[in-house]
Structure formats: C-alpha cells, structure tokens
Amino acid sequence: MSPQGSKKALIAVLGDTYADVLVTGVKTMPKMGFDTVVSNPIRIMLGGSGANTSVLMRGPLAVNNDSVKCELFTTIGSDQWGTLVRKRLEDRGVELREANLGDRGERRICKTNPDSSVV
C-alpha cells in the first residue's frame, strides 16, 4: 500500500519495444554500404506499442507516480539498442518481464513524409 493507504493499480502490457532512430532532412533513402551526411540532429526515442503504452499507463509524472505499477511483457535484445530502451523504460518506472532475444533484437526501416505520415 502507498503511504496514503490506497492500493496500487497493476497494469500488464504485452507488446513490442523498439528504439526509434529519427533522422530528418534526408531527401532519398541511403544506399546500403554508402554514407549519407545529414545536417539535422538524429533523435533516439522509445518506440513500439508495448513500450509507448506502458509509459503512458504510468501517467504523466511516471517517475513520481506511486499509484500505478506497470509490467511490460516484451522481447528486447541484449545489444546496445536493447540496453538503451531497457534503461529508458526502467527510468520511467516500467517493470520489465522480458523474453531474451540473444545478442541482438530486430531491425526495421520505416520512411515517413515530412508530415510524419508513413510511406
């Protein structure tokens, strides 16, 4: 029980988890094996329906919200991307119940239009 005497709500989420690498300002898709110079900053964010839902379920003040316990059932690789998303979820108070994918997770590329609609 929390100090106020109320019970903590338990939310279980089952879903995918990704590290979204957002690159803007690229006119054409880079060719495999070639470098592409980008002038805009690259952003890395939590992605995947499971990760996003878990963070939202914890509430707007996730780190300070003791009234909700959220467990995320997901798969996360043990590579650098997995380490990154695992830390970001834990920093937001999401408890992980994960299946091990081994040394690396999945990779996908998704191209979007300037208005963020998916191509």
How much is the pLDDT for 53?
Answer: 92
Q: Indicate the domain borders of the chain.
A: 9-18+48-100
How much is the pLDDT for 1?
Answer: 45
Under 8 Å between Cβ of 47 and 15? no
Q: What's the N-to-C CA distance of the chain in angstroms?
A: 47
Strand order through the sheet with 94-100: 9-14, 68-76, 94-100
For 39-82, the DSSP string reads -SPPEEEEESHHHHHHHHHH-TTGGG--SEEEEEEEEE-SSHHH
Per-block average pLDDT, block size 10, for the chain (119 residues)?
64 90 78 80 88 84 67 88 90 83 62 63
